Structure 1
Amino acid sequence: MKTKIIRVAEGKNSTLSHLYIDGIFQCFLLEDKIRQVKIMKQTAIPVGSFALKVNTVGAMNTKYSQKFGSNHKGMIEIAGLPTFSAVYIHIGNVISETAGCPLCGLSWIKKDGEFQVLQSTDAYKMIYPKLLSVAKSKDPGIVIENIFQF
């Protein structure tokens, strides 16, 4: 399966993206600002080709196991990122909740110059099994591109 994050718009300190699996739009993603020089927990992940993997360790994994029970098989991690580690696609609505990770949502708003995603838990429940399947497949790749539309 081909998986892509396509960035479509920038706020003052936020970036709005679309998540596609096999060419089909899945949900919106929210990331930090794109920066030339990384600022820890305030910078969007770089463009390029990476891999999705299932990460079964850490506090976030424990939290999601408690929240989602047996449906949770591990966090979906974007692996192989230069100067980034433990980057998960997860639940959240505003950039203060990203710490460099993409947050998923079914819709978005722009408030005071910043993007936010909404209905994050619903989006996560929808995309998690699909991303889990990609991460466990023979081609767990994910491509991140900047194609700003507005």
Structure 2
Amino acid sequence: MKRVEVIRLEKGQDGTFGVLRLDGRVLCVTLEPPDKGNKRDVSCIPAGEYVCRRVESPTFGTTFEVTDVPNRSHILFHQGNVVSDTHGCVLLGTRFGTLGKERGVLQSRNAFHAFLSRCGDAEGFGFVINEHCQEG
């Protein structure tokens, strides 16, 4: 089973920024919402270990859902650039940057397709979120 890890590097009002490793190798950068106590649609999820499963999202197509998050569901990996695009999910990008005046992740479509390609036909994987971040 594949193993995906997000290492959070920075948390603040602009969002929660990190890097994603797949089977031990850095693949892309991530953006999640700020930490708002695990509130649905507006908060990053608590650090810890989870299982992800392949799903077909009506909005995002084939992707993976983070399961077993207390009091939460429909947490997906998907495309997007700024924190308002997250809806409580994990956005993928090739690098950090700004769009207008907002910090975010760039080239999200490329990063998301690379992620799906590297996951292959896997029906699921182990997922770990580690925090090595400073408040920003």
* Common fold by TM > 0.5: yes
Take 1:114 and 1:44, find their aligned partners in 2: how far apart are those partners?
A: 18
Q: Which residue of 1 aligns with 2:33?
A: 32
Q: Which residue of 2 aligns with 1:83?
A: 71
Q: Which residue of 2 aligns with 1:71?
A: none
Take 2:24 and 2:88, find their aligned partners in 1: how far apart are those partners?
A: 25
Seen in structure 2, the aligned counterparts of structure 1 residues 23 and 92 have a Cα distance that, compared at 3 Å, is same
Q: Which residue of 2 aligns with 1:51?
A: 51
- Is the contact between residue 8 and residue 147 of structure 1 (CA under 8 Å) also seen in structure 2? yes
Which structure 2 residue ranges, 5 or more long, are not aligned?
A: none
- Is the contact between residue 38 and residue 46 of structure 2 (CA under 8 Å) also seen in structure 1? no
Runs of 4+ in 1 over 6 A off after TM superposition: none
1:41 positional shift: 1.5
Q: Which residue of 1 aligns with 2:19?
A: 18
Calculate percent identity across the aligned residue pairs: 28
- Is the contact between residue 8 and residue 16 of structure 1 (CA under 8 Å) also seen in structure 2? yes
Q: Which residue of 2 aligns with 1:68?
A: none
Amino acid at match of 2:104: Q
Which structure 1 residue ranges, 5 or more long, are not aligned?
A: 65-73
Take 2:27 and 2:105, find their aligned partners in 1: how far apart are those partners?
A: 13
Q: How many residues are matched?
A: 134
Q: Deviations over 1:60-95 (max 9, x none)?
A: 25xx3xxxxxxxxx3211111111111110000000
Seen in structure 2, the aligned counterparts of structure 1 residues 107 and 18 have a Cα distance that, compared at 3 Å, is same
TM-score by length of 2: 0.86
Q: Please tell me whether Structure 1 or Structure 2 has the larger radius of gyration of its CA atoms.
A: 1
Q: CA RMSD in A?
A: 2.3
Amino acid at match of 1:17: G
1:110 positional shift: 5.3
Mapped pair 1:142 → 2:127: yes
Q: Which residue of 1 aligns with 2:107?
A: 119
- Is the contact between residue 4 and residue 128 of structure 2 (CA under 8 Å) also seen in structure 1? yes
1:99 positional shift: 0.6
Seen in structure 2, the aligned counterparts of structure 1 residues 93 and 54 have a Cα distance that, compared at 3 Å, is same
1:13 positional shift: 3.8
TM-score by length of 1: 0.79
- Which has more helix, going by share of residues? 1
